[in-house]
Amino acid sequence: MQFKDILSVTGILLVPLMLSVVTMTLTIQNTIDAKENRDKDLDIAQRERDQTADLAEEERQDNRLTEYLNDISTLMFSTQPLDPLLRAKTMSVLRQLDVKRKREVILFLYEAKLIQSDMNSGNPIISLQEVNLDNVDFSDLRPPRRA
């Protein structure tokens, strides 16, 4: 066999070999790209599920707060002594709410004078002694001015 024949045979074998290498490289790269895209899609789907769950929880919290405020407002205008019921509803809703909404409830109770001392007994209508108000921020509130 001559050098020319060896080159010819090598050329004939080299072309399919190169095509195989290129095909395998492209296949591997496509597989990697597909996996990355699948991972991104899964990540996006998880974030969307998390956002949906967060929005649903926000809505539940808002509904609890609204229902509580409506109930308490109605009870405040009732003629019956309802202090235990007011306290029970308040304690129940405060256990269910996040700190932002707990703050809103406390402000409502304060403005409605339900957590201030009663003139007759010296006790508030609704006691908050057992309420967990950790992380509720009241720093931006100013105490009322006294005349």
In terms of Cα–Cα distance, which of 109, 79, 81 is closest to 93? 109
Place of tokens 């109930």: 71
Predicted pLDDT at 34: 97
Q: What is the dihedral of CA 59, 72, 82, 116, to 10 degrees?
A: 110
Enter the tokens of residue 96: 């269910």
Task: Mark out the alpha helices in the chain (DSSP H runs).
Answer: 3-76, 83-96, 99-111
The angle formed by the CA atoms of residues 114, 87 and 84, to the nearest 5 degrees, is: 105
pLDDT tens readout for residues 71-121: 888 887 776 666 778 888 888 999 999 999 999 999 888 888 888 765 566
pLDDT digits (tens, 9 = 90+) for 98-112: 999 999 999 888 888
Q: Categorize the per-residue pLDDT at 140 as very low, low, confident or very high, splitting at 50, 70 and 90.
A: confident
How far apart, in Å, are the Cα atoms of 92 and each of 64, 85, 144?
A: 10, 10, 28
pLDDT (mean) for 6-27: 89
Instruction: State CA 48 to chain mean position distance.
Output: 12
Residue pair 76/112 in contact by the 8 Å Cβ criterion: yes
For the full predicted model, state whether its pTM sits above 0.75: no
pLDDT(144) > 70: no
| Residue whose pair of structure tokens reads 């066999």 in the numeric block | 1
